[in-house]
Structure 1
Amino acid sequence: MISVKAPGKLYIAGEYAVVETGFPAVIVALDQFVTVKIEEAEQIGSIVSSQYQENSIYWRREDGEMVFDNRDNPFHYILSAIRVTEDYAKTVGKALGIYHLTVESDLDSQDGRKYGLGSSAAVTVATIKALCQFYDLPMNHDKLFKLAAIAHFDVQGNGSLGDIAASVYGGWIAYHSFDRDWLKLAEKHYNFAQLLSMDWPGLDIELLTPPADLRLLIGWTGTPASTSHLVDRVALNKAKQQQAYQEFLVKSKACLKRMIKGFRDQNLAAIQAEIALNRTLLNELDQFTHAHIETPLLKRLCEIAEDFGGIAKASGAGGGDCGIAIIDAHKHLHQLVNKWKDNQIIPLSFNVHHVEE
């Protein structure tokens, strides 16, 4: 039995701008996981998820291809991860097998609502990690990121793939997104071995070390949000407001560069100042894209954090899901958390997860 896990993530800053090639974001991996298990099978394989038990699917292999007995399933990211990894396996001469693949996830609440921790990215990464072990494929973080990015992008069609990077590399990262238009062309002209070994235009991933006194607090609004739909809405509206959008991009990049320097310099005050500015920039973006990034409850989350000496903002695409607060560990954290609870904001006691080589 092969068993691997991949962590979920939260965006700290740089949302929306990061979908543009080479624009930075800061992201953190959390100790909530998707676990994928693979066990060899004989004639009939299966894909089972604890979240979708009624939609478990069964498959066999004909002429090297996976053939499914039921096509109506919610497993698009898993299937894309399988396809990409098995295409890679074939290029290095591996014979394809049959297996039972099981998925378990911590990334949703007990009643099935999503926290917004990047479950589709984590399940993509975990599936590819498990299959690379199953097929004994050479693998490192860079190759894993590229395979998972291809698989995820083939399904979602938009986004920065920063959640893939967080799930692969773990910890705190500074992420600059690569050129997705280039990837679409590159997939047609290069095989997997070439794609995994070459540099991807614009891609840069740097591991960050936070100041010792930095504490990350996470508050959940209880309202799930669709990242892909929100990103689409911004993309549609930015075309009508090109000048304002370009100004947002320039300011966001400068803000994130200063924030990343704050991590390098171990300067909590500098990081907090740029978190506050990034929140302002996202609210300015909201004014001309009408994406409704900062909901009333997320706004309240931020105000409460500020009352106790922290700096907060929506995490990720907004519209619900989580907000984050960056605060000095010596401040009144319990009082802040209790005030969140009084305002129907659910504190999530998750920790940063670091991935081993």
Structure 2
Amino acid sequence: MTPRRTVVRHAPGKLFVAGEYAVVDPGNPAILVAVDRHITVTVSAPEPGAGAGSGGPAVLISTDLGARSVPWRWHDGRLVGCGADDDGHTRAGLAHVVSAIETVGRLLTERQLSIPTLGVSVSSRLHDGGRKYGLGSSGAVTVASVDAVASYCGLELSADERYRLAMLATARIDPKASGGDLAASTWGGWIAYQAPDRSFVLDLARRVGVDRTIGAPWPGHEVRRLPAPDGLALQVGWTGEPVSTAALVSDLHKKTWRGTASHHRFVETTGGFVRAAASALESGDGQGLLVQIRAAKRELARLDDEVGLGIFTPKLTRLCDAAEAVGGAAKPSGAGGGDCGIALLDAEAAHDISHVRQRWATAGVLPLPIRPALEGIEE
């Protein structure tokens, strides 16, 4: 058999600009920006005999975040670890890659195409010494894995198909995940995003299959590109305190706050300033955008006060204070509780930007050399 070509895909990470927490519910808007830190997934034929099992074509997964390659075999359309020393920690660490491969595998099966033996290698610039920055590594690795595996198997996907397969793969692991990170990794740049009804999508896939599901209407879902902010520079600070977005969102779902008048107010208010922020971006109104980002910060603070999630840590509060002191706007990005905060500052005020970054460093916040990624997934 002629060896297949090697396929490489680079998917950018993301930052939430506005709309966190509300975006989890279908149809609620958020704004995200892709960033120039990437996950790289390489798919090729594994070494002969590596990870081969009796249950069908083998998959061998390796990552620079793990110490060894992990062999898998197919069983009833799912991947099962081959190694005798396979454990739950290993499986959990590869869950998004495995789910991406399984989802593409199901599509291939539905189209009566064979699934070749796969060697899948993952490397990340969204981590530091094994610690995540909070830049959407799970979403980026899912999108990159979907596209690299599909291409290796002879499927060329549109951007929409790539996102939808990644959303199916993600929802199987965490039905509460909004998928905003998947959209940012897929389309790149600044985007307005609304999540689909994941329960509907998963149920549809169970009933009619993956192929028909990715071509069907998805209630609540919408994504569109936005222009970059006019006259403003995006600055990113990392608190050095990794946090699980899934855990914080899960904690919020457990609160009796959901369904209350306060919850409805949060969703309505958040939707209002996200739409206003998108309009400001589209009209080139930089000052108007700053107003809406400040509103987003206040609404997150109100949520934090009422529900007690710990969104604002001391470091994130200092990050915001430093930016606001020079006339900028800043807020936690994503679930908060650690990870990154963002600031939008006057792009022409180099002294102010330098001053803010110095104050961040003094407060224990690491200024990251990050820029928006204008494109999504790339070869």
TM-score range, shorter chain: over 0.9
Q: Deviations over 1:89-139 (max 9, x none)?
A: 112221111121110000011x22110011111111111111111111130
Q: Deviations over 1:27-64 (max 9, x none)?
A: 0101111101111134434110011124x211345787
The change in CA–CA distance for 1:66 and 1:258 in structure 2 (over 3 A counts) is closer
Q: Which residue of 2 aligns with 1:6?
A: 11
What SS does the aligned partner of 2:202 have? Answer: helix
1:345-356 aligned within 5 A: 345-355=365-375
In the TM superposition, residue 211 of structure 1 has moved relative to its aligned partner by 3.1
Name the CA distance, whole Å, in 1 between partners of 2:79 and 2:27.
Answer: 36
Q: Which residue of 2 aligns with 1:195?
A: 213
1:68 aligned to 2:81? yes
Q: Which residue of 2 aligns with 1:285?
A: 303
Q: Which residue of 2 aligns with 1:102?
A: 121
Structure 2: where are the runs of 5+ without partners? 1-5, 53-58
The change in CA–CA distance for 1:273 and 1:62 in structure 2 (over 3 A counts) is closer
TM-score, normalised to structure 2, is: 0.90
1:83 aligned to 2:102? yes
1:16-35 aligned within 5 A: 16-35=21-40
Q: Which residue of 2 aligns with 1:184?
A: 202
1:322 aligned to 2:340? yes
What SS does the aligned partner of 2:132 have? Answer: coil
In the TM superposition, residue 341 of structure 1 has moved relative to its aligned partner by 1.0
Q: Which residue of 1 aligns with 2:44?
A: 39
Root-mean-square deviation (Å) = 1.6
Q: Which residue of 1 aligns with 2:3?
A: none
Name the CA distance, whole Å, in 2 between partners of 1:258 and 1:91.
Answer: 43
Q: Which residue of 1 aligns with 2:62?
A: 48
> Which amino acid in 2 is paired with 1:53?
A
Alignment equivalent of 1:59, drawn from 68, 72, 75: 72
Q: Which residue of 2 aligns with 1:234?
A: 252
In the TM superposition, residue 285 of structure 1 has moved relative to its aligned partner by 1.0
TM-score, normalised to structure 1, is: 0.95
The change in CA–CA distance for 1:139 and 1:241 in structure 2 (over 3 A counts) is closer
What SS does the aligned partner of 1:347 have? Answer: strand
Structure 1: where are the runs of 5+ without partners? none
The change in CA–CA distance for 1:238 and 1:218 in structure 2 (over 3 A counts) is farther
1:212-251 aligned within 5 A: 212-239=230-257, 242-251=260-269
Q: Deviations over 1:194-235 (max 9, x none)?
A: 111112101010100023312100000000011011001111
Name the CA distance, whole Å, in 1 between partners of 2:78 and 2:261.
Answer: 48
> Which amino acid in 1 is paired with 2:123?
E
